[in-house]
Amino acid sequence: MTVPAVALTPRSDHGLGAGASAGALLELAARPDFHRWEAQLAATGHCARPVRLQGRIDAIDKATGQARPIYDTDTEPGAVLRIPCGNRREHACPACSHVYKNDARQIIRSGLTGGKGIPESVATHPCVFATLTAPGFGPVHTTRTDRRGHKLPCRPRRDASQRRCPHGRDISCSRTHPDDDPRLGQTLCPDCYDYTGHVLFNACGPDLWRRFVIYLPRQLARLVGITQKTLRGQVKVRFVKVAEYQARGVVHYHAIIRLDAPGQDYQPPPARYTAALLADAIRAAAAAVFLDTTAHLTRLNLKAAGTDDTAAVPVVGANLARILRFGNQVDVRTVRAGIGLPGTGSELSAQAVANYIAKYATKTISAPGLPDRPVYGPNAIAALRCTTHYKRLISLCWELSKHPAAAQLGLNRWTHMLGYRGHFLTKSQCYSTTFTRLRNDRITYRRIQRHPNGEKDPWGRDLDERTVLLMAAWRYAGTGHVTTAERQLALAAAARAREHDRIAKEEIWMN
């Protein structure tokens, strides 16, 4: 029995508690069921906090009514089955977050270049990469670049009269901030900053995006000069989008938007639908779309109260009334011009876009410097070690959750997200494959590996659910590894597996 060397020199950089002694690790490795434990661990993808289940699966012969056990956790190490926690946050579980990251990358990439059940011809469809930002809520330290990508000073103001805000603060900044400058995203005058608008933008951003998706075909139809109904018969807009926090703590969106023919077979749209046309429609839709928070909050309150009577729900006061829009910096870049159109040479590479957007799909699961769980109440907020700007946003989320008119946003649960309640990766139907499908493919793959000659029932026949009934009974038995030694071996094995994966990928890249 060998203990991996890396496991005997436990690294504590995972922040998961004190290290186990070498003795404890050796003891674990000497256990008779160590190999089975290792195999279970590998089957969870080396999850750092697996869910432990107890239970059994019985097979019942439908013809005879005879029951026999197929599987029982009593035969497993610790009498439990371990299944992956599925947590997407890297510091909560490096292994599961790695699996999620890979799946996100596959989903994004297969919609660009095909694969995973998507035809490769999808790579010829018109496609753009769009970034929709949030509007300004007040002056913050920022990085700006000119057209050639050279960095510009933050907020230079030559005229002394423009340097002071109504609160008497200097709102100019002549610095050129480096990318890691902690000042980035901080306000120049907190009293000038519209914190409520900011939190409402984060909270209602997913609704604003939904409206944008509805407006987009309308704008396409308008540009082509046809009705929406005719448009629906010719083309379908498909997308995948990720949300990213900007330094100021507001969410913006990156999206890959593609045009297909209607239907689920990934056919190209008619040639008149080009990426240039799509880009114009995106700019027009992003400029036109808005969300009136008064109407939106009233709708949420009516729905929650189960009434149509606006007199029966809280009035949305002027303090919460905003017209939310996207910022005017809408960036649309061509990934592919369209069927039969020559490239201009300035197209983005599909691979680069997939990697870029996949990075955000996973990186932005928590905002920088923020806790990964909701922060409840003023005392907990005061104790946070983050910037005053973030603290103000978190406090406001907390206060708004107590505000009768805004309570339906449930912001007390999203304080740590600065009010953002959406998913970080969403896609339209038929953009490409799904997380569920990728997961099921993995399960099938593992099953085939475990039973190369096919699964057998307890009577030695090929398992066929038409002849036997499978009865499963499971009970939750806890979360996480039971001992420090187990946890450390799991983390070390996970790190090795990821390293292996990374090297394999690099080899593919080099070939």
Which parts of this chain interact with Zn ion (CB under 5 A)? Answer: 47, 84-85, 93, 96, 141, 154, 165, 167, 173, 175, 189, 191-192
Question: Is 141 or 258 the residue whose CB approaches Zn ion more closely?
Answer: 141
Between CA 61 and CA 78 the distance in angstroms is 30
In 3-state terms, what secondary structure has residue 414?
coil
- Strand, helix or coil for residue 239: strand
d(CA 506, CA 70) in angstroms, rounded, equals: 41
Residue whose CB is less far from Zn ion, 173 or 297: 173
Q: Give the number of residues written for the chain.
A: 511
* CA angle centred on 339, ends 335 and 340, rounded to 5°: 110
Q: What angle do CA 68, 74, 75 make, to 5 degrees?
A: 85
Please, what is the minimum distance in Å from the beta carbon of residue 96 to Zn ion?
3
Closest to Zn ion by CB, 139 vs 268, is 139
Closest CB 378 distance from Zn ion, rounded Å: 24
Which residue, 248 or 336, is less far from Zn ion as judged by CB? Answer: 248
Rounded Cα distance between 418 and 202, Å, is: 7
CB of 361 to Zn ion, least distance (A): 18
Distances (CA, A) of 442 to 40, 113, 134, 449: 15, 21, 38, 11
Q: How far is the CB of 123 from Zn ion (least distance, A)?
A: 34
Comparing CB distances to Zn ion, the nearer of 168 and 225 is 168
Please, what is the minimum distance in Å from the beta carbon of residue 328 to Zn ion? 21
The residue among 332, 118, 324, 105 whose CA lies nearest residue 202 is 324
At 230, phi and psi to the nearest 5? Answer: -60, -40
* Strand residue runs (E) in 351-485: 425-427, 468-479
Least spacing, CB of residue 348 vs Zn ion, in Å = 30
**Which residue, 85 or 400, has its beta carbon nearer to Zn ion?**
85
Closer of 83 and 226 to Zn ion (Cβ): 83
| DSSP state for residue 78 in the 8-state scheme | G
Contact 421, 410 (CB under 8 A): yes
Q: Least separation, in Å, of the C-beta of 370 and Zn ion?
A: 21
